[in-house]
Structure 1
Amino acid sequence: MKRIGVLTSGGDSPGMNAAIRAVVRKAIYHEVEVYGVSYGYAGLIEGDIKKMELGSVGDIIHRGGTILYTARCEEFKTEEGQKKAIAQLEKFGIEGLVVIGGDGSYRGAQKLTEHGFPTIGVPGTIDNDIPGTDFTIGFDTALNTVIDAIDKIRDTATSHERTYVIEVMGRHAGDLALWSGLADGAETIVIPEADYDFDAIISRLKRGQDRGKKHSIIVVAEGVGSGFEFGRSIQEATKMETRVTVLGHIQRGGSPTGFDRVLASRLGAKAVDLLLDGKAGVTVGIQRNELVYHDINEALSRPHTIDQEMYKLSQELSI
């Protein structure tokens, strides 16, 4: 294989640039040409493809977002769109493709694989919801952004003696809510992977109030529902002054943490190694600090799971 492509797709995540850099430099180290596809699968269909050099990825390892940009693409979900994309890859002489993104990006890579085009998936999403890897690129950075925000909100919650409901991202996964809630000592963490008892939450808040507790922090994953509705229900049930903060897209931005930079570098380089070894239709990941890869069909067939022991611990520590 003498020429490969790389694209980022779906929601951006901190560390994507570090992964792009690793793909480009690892490939060039092995005397393989690299072509960057701008705007994800939409750019692939349109042929928005340019050759990348060592200098193309200089000074980007510390930057959030993605220099290749990203976009949603409904056309690529059709067989006609997929064939257009492959025609563009063949036009540029590209023999293999590295796709950096989340669940939707992986499904696109899966389709290319079904059409016989060698593709490797690299997990880039703040949601940490990709099976086959303990961590996804961007999760650690987003987690630290959420923790910093909750720390600040706790200061004002203490000053005003209020209950704060904080809605965090994660799509249908509760990892960001669970990890940030545990790290910040939240009184309640509500995630889609575990049933919750609203009456029990109210009882816990009232017990805290009875023993003189002046404020409470409740972290709600967006996959459960609206933080505003949750906050309204709590205020009605407790008569406590309740405020809601939806952190939103601030969680996706910012310079990646050291962990995400190293993870992205390792996974991006591993994707190139796999292509050069003749592997295709697989996803890379990290498990117990070891780099691994899985068949993309197998990875997409697994449901996302949460660390139930960690969730249990968060409840035990919030009594």
Structure 2
Amino acid sequence: MTLKISKQLAPVKPVVNCFGYGNKADSVTIHQTGNTNKGANAKMHAKLQSRVYGASWHWQVDDVEAIQSFEHKVSCYHASDGRGPGNLNSIAIEGCINVDGDYVKTVHNMAELAAKVLKEIGKDTNRLFQHNDFDTKYHKNCPAQIRAGKDGIGWALFVQMVKDNMKGSVVAESAKPPIAKTIDQLANEVIAGKHGSGDVRKKALGSQFVAVQARVNQLIGAKPVNKPLAPAPVKKKYSLPNGVYRVSNPMRHGNDVLQIQLALSSIYFYPNKGAKNNGCDSWYGFDTANAVKRFQLMYGLVADGVYGPATAKKLDSIVNK
């Protein structure tokens, strides 16, 4: 394995950030964070979970490393299926999509980690799922970039990358000759006409074919070659209000507040998870302010619990796109 792996375990707080222990670990679920901000890498997301976040996942991966936040025996809040098989029995891997990272490298690291975990739990890629597979209520478009075939890597190709890693067809770092060519070097050679095409190229590049072809697609801006997935259902739109909302006396109340609460809940920032309607009660109280603050913290905004223009703009760009 060439991927740098470390642990930064977050507190296990049942009801607050997870279901507790008892995960059967019979599958792996792939996510992508949705956070393109600079610095939104694996370290940032690991720190977020260490502070006890309202959602949870076992691993976060970027172009440099993979950091584990929860042992696999913990059932995390990640699959949007309540006490279903995703949350209770699957291991979650979140891939970072920060703009200052190498997206293709991150996806390759995700595939390497997924292969490692599947081998550890004794499963094959038939137990490799997308977040979308479990979210039968909202049909969340996740992992969004892979589902869209960004940089030529769609779901079918990603699964093949995992299979290649599981078969050991990706050469281990210790086994590589010291003068082995990099993926970028081989990709540039392909673009220059070397290594042929089709089966000839596959034979010439061997175990590195998938990685090199994905890099070629990225460099030349090729569209994904795998069959595109059906478009996700149109997301529910939220009429987010303008103005500034904060905890006040008397508290603000009305449909405008409800729209804020529903929009936040649609991306798992619940005012009061587990309460009636998960705390969506049309009142801008401390629970709603806390949900706003968690959202702001996740997306690099001033985390003060006050819903204002910057928060409204960011929230709208996520839930109403």
- TM-score normalised by length of structure 2: 0.27
Q: Return the structure number with greater relative CO, CA threshold 8 A, min gap 6.
A: 1
**Greater fraction of residues in helix:** 1
**Greater fraction of residues in strand:** 1
